Amino acid sequence: MTSTDSASPAIHPWEGCGLHEAPMDPLQPEPQLNDNEETELYSVSWNQDSGCFAAGTSHGFRIYNCNPFKETFRRDLKTGGFKIIEMLFRCNILALVGTKVNTQYPPNNVIIWDDFQSRCIGEFSFRSEIRAVKLRRDRVVVVLEHKIYVYNFMDLKLLHQIETLANPRGLCCLSHHPNTSVLACPGLQRGQVRVEHFGLNRTTLINAHDSKIACLTLTMDGLLLATASLRGTLIRIFNTLDGTRLQEVRRGVDRADIYNIALSPNVQWLAVSSDKGPISYNQSSSNALEPLITRSTSANPSSSFSFLKGVLPKYFSSEWSFAQFHFPGVTQFITTFGSQNTVIVVGLDGSFYRCSFDPVNGGEMVKQEYVRFLKTEAASQ
């Protein structure tokens, strides 16, 4: 390729590379750091089913299981840390992006790492800094500030190139159900989201907000999209096939920086974390959403394509926060849903919370578990 943000294909063969499902290979890293040694936490990210999360640190990376909470394994390297860690469900394959001070893995390279074999099995090199990497079993997606590259997982051949508006946050999300292949990312206009239904060879452009997109997420099957803008006052939910707005939730009246949006597996609950401290959980109260919930979580989501068309209303009444949890200090958090009306929250201060909420009365959530999983200077309970 000759473009400014060109990428080179894999430099290591895939032959003999198997996917070994959980538990991950418990190899002991070398060298092993003392837990009392201060480590800077660069990033935290969920795996595709939110059962695990990865932490990129100044010395390498660590993988944690959420229920029960435990460290699965870690890699501490002499060469430096990683700013992006992307898991592939619970298997041994990860995508890694280093930092500017990493002497072996720079921030413009993506390393496909097989921890079962303890080696790099693929690499992409770009001319600009990588903003995000997303994986599904058949695709590798690399996000740069103005372009997104989509590769076939088995041979790492380039399949698609997508132009975007300036995207410094690396906003991009994928569906993870085997029967649907959906990607959502910023479009070329302010406040616009582009949705690619690769299996249907269909592109949907959604004018989601008046200001720039700050955060977005898809359901597992890619049929629902939730978005927030830089203003951070409204969360909107869309049908990704035709761009219909299905619901709007008001987070508050003041501006907020939205870090994370999560939808529960049954699409009944929506969680939002922001720089305002609380994480709010909103319940969809409209009966009109029930057909969508039933179909979007079915075993064969492709059948819901025809069902959704022309059935759902365009707009529901605005709803307010239902339950909240306030955190001490100021740090960035990501959240997801656990079992039995619980939510899991992980912070860049090295903290892990499990909280429960009352599905009937809402209000302040109850902290069930707190773990300081990484000793950082900013971490506090």
Instruction: Give the residue carrying structure tokens 């294909």.
Output: 9
Give the range with max mean pLDDT: 24-33, 72-81, 103-112, 123-132.
123-132
| pLDDT recorded at residue 128 | 92
**CA distances for 116 relative to 19, 20, 84, 94, 198, angstroms:** 9, 8, 20, 11, 31
Worst-scoring range by mean pLDDT, 29-43, 73-87, 235-249, 257-271? 29-43
**Is the model's pLDDT at 68 over the cut of 60?**
yes
Q: Which position has the higher pLDDT, 214 or 39?
A: 214
CA distance 4 to 127: 7
pLDDT category at 259 given cuts 50, 70, 90 is confident
- CA-nearest of 122, 60, 58, 59 to 88 is 122
Q: What tokens does 257 get? A: 């920086």
DSSP 34: P
Q: Which position has the higher pLDDT, 327 or 159?
A: 159
DSSP 29: P
| pLDDT recorded at residue 313 | 31
| pLDDT recorded at residue 325 | 77
pTM for this model (two decimals): 0.80
Long-range own/partner contacts, residues 303-310 (CB < 8 A, 24 or more apart): 304/221, 304/223, 305/200, 305/223, 305/241, 308/223, 308/239, 308/241, 308/242, 309/241, 309/242
| Mean pLDDT of all residues in 189-193 | 95
CA distance 333 to 335: 7
Q: What is the mean pLDDT of the chain?
A: 77
pLDDT category at 55 given cuts 50, 70, 90 is very high
Q: What tokens does 342 get? A: 């619980």
**Is the model's pLDDT at 29 over the cut of 50?**
no
| pLDDT recorded at residue 59 | 87
| Mean pLDDT of all residues in 154-174 | 94
| Mean pLDDT of all residues in 49-60 | 91
Strand, coil or helix: what is 77? coil
Q: Which position has the higher pLDDT, 251 or 242?
A: 242
Give the distance, in angstroms, between the CA of residue 197 and the centroid of all CA atoms in the same chain. Answer: 18
| Mean pLDDT of all residues in 264-270 | 83
Burial of 196 (0-12, 13-18, 19+ CB in 10 A): buried
**Is the model's pLDDT at 120 over the cut of 50?**
yes
| Mean pLDDT of all residues in 7-13 | 39
| Mean pLDDT of all residues in 184-199 | 95
Q: Which position has the higher pLDDT, 303 or 130?
A: 130
pLDDT category at 16 given cuts 50, 70, 90 is very low
Contact between 250 and 320 (Cβ < 8 Å): yes
- CA-nearest of 377, 339, 291, 270 to 38 is 377
Strands of the sheet with 41-46, listed across from one edge = 41-46, 52-57, 60-66, 69-76
Q: What are phi and psi of 122, to 5 degrees?
A: -170, 155
Strand, coil or helix: what is 306? helix
DSSP 344: E
Peptide bond into 31 cis (omega under 30): yes
CA distance 312 to 182: 20
Worst-scoring range by mean pLDDT, 89-93, 241-245, 264-268? 264-268
Hey, CA dihedral for 162, 216, 145, 130, is it positive or negative? negative
- CA-nearest of 178, 105, 169, 108 to 138 is 178
| pLDDT recorded at residue 28 | 37
Helix, strand and coil percent figures for the chain, each rounded to 5: 5, 45, 50
Q: Which position has the higher pLDDT, 84 or 119?
A: 84
| Mean pLDDT of all residues in 60-86 | 89
Instruction: Give the residue carrying structure tokens 């907020």.
Output: 256
CA distance 33 to 314: 54
The residue type of 173 is C
Give the distance, in angstroms, between the CA of residue 15 and the centroid of all CA atoms in the same chain. Answer: 29
Burial of 333 (0-12, 13-18, 19+ CB in 10 A): buried
**Is the model's pLDDT at 106 over the cut of 80?**
yes
Give the range with max mean pLDDT: 124-133, 312-321, 338-347.
124-133
Give the distance, in angstroms, between the CA of residue 330 and the centroid of all CA atoms in the same chain. Answer: 21
pLDDT category at 45 given cuts 50, 70, 90 is very high
CA distance 269 to 323: 11
| pLDDT recorded at residue 283 | 53
pLDDT tens digit string along 129-163?
999 999 998 999 999 999 999 999 988 999 999 99
